[in-house]
Amino acid sequence: MSDGSRHDTREGERTGRTPALPSTVRNPWGRLAMLGAVIVLGVAASGLCVAWLVPRHVGESTATFALDALEEGRPQYYRPFNMGYDESGRPYGMYLLRTGRGDEVIALFSRDPHPLACSVTLVQQPNDGTLAFDSACSGSRFDLEGELEAGVSPRALDRFAVEVFGAGVDIDVTELILGRCASVGGVECSSARETRTEAVDWPGN
């Protein structure tokens, strides 16, 4: 201990006052508190950015997706909640497609409208390398906008109503817009003259 420190201690004992700390000793808690506040604010700000970029389910009637997360011309699979499974155990979901016509987005239900109701998969066609949706059950093939290209399915893929707002995409999951008719008679489907819808009751609701 230095002579100055011994002197301060003796002075404190004599006067009954607590001696002052040497000038080299600092209270670290103020700086630590400030640093912690900066870290918390930074994490909160980055969390907001990440939350906007990551797809998220925001309610019982609407699912939301970030528009910038969609690549033009390439469908993005999205399953915001339990939408059920086909007979083989493959999950139903939706495919979101940014068409390239402005900010237009299409949301297709992945269920083949054929009675076997398989979940379709996005595959690259071996003959020309293009992408299309294939159904393993019915053998049907649908283009990227859900229109029937080949097979025995009675209509195009069903879709959800979509609204684009700013940087987000709202998807109405309370009903399906039935696909365009591919056959005549006895089939629930939409036509050029009439758009038909079907209410949905998701598992667990």
Q: Where are the domains of the chain?
A: 3-53, 57-199
Q: What is the pTM of this model?
A: 0.71
Task: Output 63 or 187, whichever has higher pLDDT.
Answer: 63
Interval 107-118 mean pLDDT: 96
> Torsion-angle region of residue 125: left (phi > 0), alpha (psi -120 to 50) or beta?
beta
pLDDT at 123: 95
Distance CA 79, CA 65 (A): 11
pLDDT at 166: 87
Measured in degrees and rounded to the nearest 5, phi and psi for residue 27 equal -85, 115
Distance CA 121, CA 108 (A): 12
pLDDT at 56: 52
Domain 57-199 has CATH 1.10.357.10: no
Q: Mean pLDDT across the chain, nearest whole number?
A: 79
Distance CA 151, CA 139 (A): 6
Distance CA 100, CA 84 (A): 30
**pLDDT digit string, tens, across residues 135-184:** 999 999 999 999 999 999 999 999 999 999 988 999 999 999 999 998 76
pLDDT at 192: 86
pLDDT at 199: 94
